[in-house]
Chain A
Amino acid sequence: MRDLAGYRRIAVVPAFNEERNIGRVLEELRAFDTGLEVVVVSDGSTDRTPDVAAAHGAHVVRLPFNLGIGGAVQTGFRYAWEHGYDLAVRCDGDGQHVPAELDKVLEPVLAGEADICVGSRFGAGDGYRSSKTRRVGIRLLAAIVSAIARQRVTDTTSGFQALNRRALELFAADYPHDYPEVEGMVMTIKHRLRLCEVPVRMREREHGRSSITALRSIYYMAKVLLALFVGLFRRRVVPAEDV
């Protein structure tokens, strides 16, 4: 692991009613790196999520109502961008992401090999379990994104990521709304930022339920496919550097 000391670094943690999980996530982030600032974006939580987060020493942004994961994450990226951080990691507040794995996604960004590095739950060996329909959907999206990106991508829905300031600039300016990771990857490529993927471990949810149910995942697929298709015909928000 490279030395992080020279960087102003922050973890963006979106959380919606995660008072039971958020404390542990924040402790694990602290254990990973004591110099890592944390901003918890409470996405219209109605429980004690913001208070628990503040008690654990995180910066807390309280959205007045639920914006959905994309809007919440973008708020965190805006916070990081406005406060001049060099490096940001995103780690969800529901306990599925393992902060101890952060060095794996940070490594390529610190090495200057990537602007965004995404942790993939596939390929880490210990078999992430999910339903069959969901696997088909994930494969399909991965194949489409891989084709657009002209590089192999296995997990298009992972929110476990490390970003440098160039990537923060892009996402602070424009970030997809509802299910942002897939479109985010394509935006990254279109803006000629360098994307990479590394295998990481992830956990099953401990408390509460995932927000994606069977019927919703069909809606999700249709929406993401539409967004991907239309996105190909969209202008850039931040001028890409010609490589």
Chain B
Amino acid sequence: MIAAQTPLKVSLAATAASLVLVLVVFELIRSRRLRERYALLWLLTGIVLVVLSAWRGGLNTIAGWFGVRGYPPAVLFAVGLLFVIVVLLHYSTVISRLSDQNVVLAQRLALLETRLRERESAD
């Protein structure tokens, strides 16, 4: 049995979509709406998807490695999903850190306010 090949149309559509992702991320960084440290994972996602979408031979080969014989573009879904999971996990750690810092800030602020209030009432 000959392994299935990636259809040209699928490749073109996926490449276009991935390119849009890369361009949007680029624009967000350029307009300072996305910090570089959070953009890196997204850029990496976009670039990997562009490469895999455009390079049909490569996608077919990689699909072969993982035993995906019926429909090689399924590898695109898998890779995309993997990156999305990594990005989400990364954001969970970012949120956790922010909320920890938020607690410390609230505590320090409240303690300072108490100090100030007690000093003012002592004067």
Contacts and interface: CB of A to CB of B under 8 A. Distances in A.
Contacts of A78: 107, 111
Contacts of A79: 111, 114
A41 B110 CA distance: 9
26 contacts: A41-B110, A59-B114, A59-B118, A60-B114, A61-B110, A61-B111, A61-B113, A61-B114, A62-B110, A62-B113, A63-B106, A63-B107, A64-B110, A67-B103, A67-B106, A67-B107, A71-B103, A75-B107, A75-B110, A75-B111, A78-B107, A78-B111, A79-B111, A79-B114, A82-B111, A177-B103
A82 B112 CA distance: 11
B109 interface: yes
A67 B102 CA distance: 9
Given A59-B118, A63-B110, 16 more contacts: A41-B110, A61-B110, A61-B111, A61-B114, A62-B110, A65-B106, A67-B106, A74-B107, A75-B107, A75-B110, A78-B107, A78-B111, A79-B111, A79-B114, A82-B111, A177-B103
B107 A71 contact: yes
Interface of B: 103, 106-107, 109-111, 113-114, 118
Contacts of B106: 63-65, 67, 71
Q: Which one of B110, B111, B113, B114 has the highest number of Cβ atoms from chain A below 10 Å of its Cβ?
A: B110
A71 B108 CA distance: 11
Interface in A49-84: 59-65, 67, 71, 74-75, 78-79, 82
A67 B107 CA distance: 9
A62 B114 contact: yes
Contacts of A82: 111
Contacts of A63: 106-107, 110
B11 to A, nearest CB: 44
> Closest 5 A-B residue pairs measured CB to CB?
A75-B107, A61-B114, A63-B110, A61-B110, A71-B103
B92 to A, nearest CB: 14
Contacts of B110: 41, 61-64, 75
Contacts of B114: 59-62, 79
B120 to A, nearest CB: 13
Nearest to B114: A61
A64 B109 CA distance: 8
A78 B115 CA distance: 13
Nearest to A63: B110
Interface string A115-134: 00000000000000000000
Contacts of B113: 61-62
B87 to A, nearest CB: 23
A75 B113 CA distance: 13
Contacts of A60: 114
Nearest to A68: B103
Contacts of B107: 63, 67, 71, 74-75, 78
Contacts of B118: 59
B9 to A, nearest CB: 47
Interface string A133-157: 0000000000000000000000000
Interface in A77-95: 78-79, 82
